[in-house]
Amino acid sequence: MPSVIVTGCSRSTGFGQLIAKALAAAGFDVFATLRKVERAAELASWAAQHKVSLHTLEHDVTDPRQNRRVAEHVVSKTGSIDALVNNVGVSSFGALETLHDAHIRWAMETNFFSAVDMTRAVLPHMREQQRGRIVFVTSVAGVTGVPGESIYCASKFALEGLAEALAMETARFGIDVSTVRPGFFNTGMSAQNTDASKFFRTATPYDDFNNRVVRSTAEGESNGEDPGLVAQTVLAALTANPARLRWHAGEAAPEIVKQRSAMGDEAWRKYVMAELGMSDWLEPVQVSA
């Protein structure tokens, strides 16, 4: 039974739990990690009810010691780490100039540096065993810029570049790397952030912009696709033979990526801003002295 670590499994509507359940149902020995242990009970009872191999571990991915402890725990229990799914991610929105410094560092730390560190925690084990699969849950925001999500995009673009380069470093050790790019899914991810003041300052020339971004993010999420599709895509990425670098989850993602590569930068900018009802933000304004 191949072992797999899935990070960020705290929420029943989030990708993490759905991925953990889909992999357990497909016969993986799943180690679902989450930082809020009080949320583990639901997953554990689901596993018992479905008679699958799914264990929960307390894990904050921003702590390098915990990343190594999780990797070593899985090796000690199963003898190997066959796969890692770096699913943890936080949303970030607000015009760059208005974001709090601490918010920028927190978002990059959680979305990028933690996935880097967790990957480095499993790599020595996978290299020694001469096999392994690593999946990064990125986003279409790792392929195209989204206005008001510059830091989120930066973190996901960074993961896309990392994965492409890493795949070339580890192929000779039998380690395959993939990214799974979801489009818009109704997981309630952004709806959790009810206090936008934690992200950005108000009373700036960007107030109207930020308000519209908050609204369009909430709308995009509530009209999103079924998150179960992402879980099925991760399962496909982990079981495909041969492995493939890039996967798109759902219907919107491949369309968006196709359109982005077909359009020039200027045409794309106009198209995205029009889609978001923000074309007026491309018009110059008079700045009073």
Ligand X SMILES: NC(=O)c1ccc[n+]([C@@H]2O[C@H](COP(=O)([O-])OP(=O)(O)OC[C@H]3O[C@@H](n4cnc5c(N)ncnc54)[C@H](OP(=O)(O)O)[C@@H]3O)[C@@H](O)[C@H]2O)c1
Q: Which residues lie near ligand X (CB under 6 A)?
A: 8, 10-11, 14-16, 35-36, 59-62, 87-90, 110, 137, 139, 182, 184-185, 187, 189, 224
In angstroms, what is the minimal distance from the CB of 15 to ligand X? 4
Tokens of 153: 């995009």
Q: Where are the beta strands (DSSP E) in the chain?
A: 3-6, 29-34, 54-58, 83-86, 132-137, 175-182, 246-249
* 3-state secondary structure (DSSP) of residue 279: helix
Sort 201 into a burial class: Cβ within 10 Å, 0-12 / 13-18 / 19+: middle
What is the strand order of the sheet 3-6 is part of?
54-58, 29-34, 3-6, 83-86, 132-137, 175-182, 246-249
**Contact assessment for residue 153 and residue 96, using Cβ atoms and an 8 Å cutoff:** no
The residue (of 36 and 270) whose beta carbon lies closer to ligand X is: 36
Structure tokens, 176: 């395959």
Least separation, in Å, of the C-beta of 18 and ligand X? Answer: 8
Catalytic: 271? no
Amino acid identity of residue 73, one-letter, is H
> Of these residues, 31, 152, 184, 185, which one is catalytic?
152
User: Smallest distance from the beta carbon of 62 to ligand X, in angstroms?
Assistant: 4
Closer CB to ligand X, 2 or 224, in the complex? 224
Instruction: Using the minimum distance from each CB to ligand X, give the nearer residue, 38 or 207.
Output: 38
Nearer to ligand X, 191 or 279 (CB): 191
Two tokens, residue 136: 């990064």
Closest CB 38 distance from ligand X, rounded Å:
10
Rank residues 129 and 186 by Cβ distance to ligand X and give the closer one. Answer: 186
| CA distance linking residue 161 with residue 117, whole number of Å | 16
Helices (H), 35-138: 40-50, 64-78, 101-108, 114-129
The least CB distance from residue 130 to ligand X, in Å, is 29
From 22, 2, 10, select the one nearest 56 (Cα to Cα): 10
Residues known to be catalytic: 152
